[in-house]
Structure 1
Amino acid sequence: MNAAHRYSAVAITLHWVIAVCILSMIPMGWWMTAAIEQPDSQALAYRVFQIHKSIGFLILALTVVRIAWRLTHRGPALPPGMKRWEAFAAHTTHVAFYTLMLALPLTGWLYVSAGWAVSQDRALEVATSWFGLFPIPHLPGVAELAAGVKRALAFQAMGAHAAMAWGAVVLVALHVGAALKHQFVDRDGVLAHMVPFLKPGLKAGHEPAFSAPSSPWVERGVGVALIAVVAVAGAVAARPYAMPGLEMTRTEAPAPVSAPASGPVSAEAPVTPGTAAGWTIDSAASSIAFGGTHAGAAFKGRFERWEGQVWFDPADLAGSKAVITVQTASARTGDPTQEGSLQGAEWFDPSRYPTARFETTGFRALGGDRYEATGRLRIKTTTVPVVLPFTFRETGGVAAVDGRLELDRTALDMGMESDATGDWVSKMIGVQIKVSARRAG
Structure 2
Amino acid sequence: MAVSHGESWIALAIIVSSVLTAWFMNYRTPKVRAFGTLLAGLGCLAIVLWFATILGTGILDNPKPNQTPMDSAKPALLWMQASIALVTGLMLLIAAYRQAKSDEALELPIENQIDRYGFVSRMIHWTTAILFIALIPIGIFASMIPEDSWFRNHYYVVHKTLGVLVFALLIIRLFWNTRSKRPALDASLKPAEHRWAHRVHILLYMMMIAVPVTGYVMTSFHGYPTYFFTLEIEPFWGKSDAYIIWGTFHKYILPYLLYVILGAHILGALKHHFIDKHDGALKRMVG
| TM-score normalised according to structure 2 size | 0.57
- Measure, in 2, the Cα distance between the counterparts of 1:80 and 1:73: 20
> How far off its partner does 1:173 sit?
0.9
- Measure, in 2, the Cα distance between the counterparts of 1:10 and 1:174: 25
* Residue matched to 2:45: none
SS at match of 2:150: helix
* Residue matched to 1:309: none
Structure with more contact order per residue of length (Cα contacts < 8 Å, sep ≥ 6): 2
| AA of the residue aligned to 2:125 | H
Kept after mapping to 1: 8 A contact 2:224/2:234: no
> How far off its partner does 1:81 sit?
3.0
| AA of the residue aligned to 2:245 | Q
Kept after mapping to 2: 8 A contact 1:36/1:46: no
> How far off its partner does 1:186 sit?
2.2
* Residue matched to 1:70: 177
SS at match of 1:175: helix
Is 1:29 equivalent to 2:139 in the alignment? yes
Once the two structures are superposed, what CA deviation does each residue of 1:94-119 show, in whole Å capped at 9, x if it has no partner?
111111111111111101111x2xxx
Q: Matches of residues 31-430 of structure 1 in structure 2 within 5 Å?
A: 31-37=141-147, 39=148, 42-114=149-221, 116=222, 125-132=223-230, 134-138=231-235, 140=236, 142-143=237-238, 147=239, 150-151=240-241, 153-162=242-251, 163-188=253-278, 189-195=280-286, 198=287
- Measure, in 2, the Cα distance between the counterparts of 1:108 and 1:193: 32
- Measure, in 1, the Cα distance between the counterparts of 2:204 and 2:117: 17
> How far off its partner does 1:48 sit?
0.6
* Residue matched to 1:240: none
More strand by share: 1
> How far off its partner does 1:36 sit?
3.0
Gaps of 5+ in 2: 1-105
Q: What is the aligned-residue identity percentage?
A: 28
Q: CA RMSD in A?
A: 1.8
SS at match of 1:129: strand
| AA of the residue aligned to 1:135 | E
> How far off its partner does 1:159 sit?
0.3
> How far off its partner does 1:2 sit?
4.8
The ranges of structure 1 where at least 4 consecutive aligned residues each deviate by more than 6 angstroms after the TM superposition are none
- Measure, in 1, the Cα distance between the counterparts of 2:146 and 2:126: 30
Is 1:17 equivalent to 2:139 in the alignment? no
Gaps of 5+ in 1: 117-124, 199-441
More helix by share: 2
Once the two structures are superposed, what CA deviation does each residue of 1:170-226 show, in whole Å capped at 9, x if it has no partner?
11111111111122122321111111xx3xxxxxxxxxxxxxxxxxxxxxxxxxxxx
- Measure, in 1, the Cα distance between the counterparts of 2:151 and 2:277: 45
| TM-score normalised according to structure 1 size | 0.38
| AA of the residue aligned to 2:142 | M
| AA of the residue aligned to 1:173 | G
Once the two structures are superposed, what CA deviation does each residue of 1:266-295 show, in whole Å capped at 9, x if it has no partner?
xxxxxxxxxxxxxxxxxxxxxxxxxxxxxx
- Measure, in 2, the Cα distance between the counterparts of 1:76 and 1:53: 32
SS at match of 2:207: helix
SS at match of 2:138: helix
> How far off its partner does 1:127 sit?
2.5
SS at match of 1:82: coil
- Measure, in 2, the Cα distance between the counterparts of 1:46 and 1:136: 14
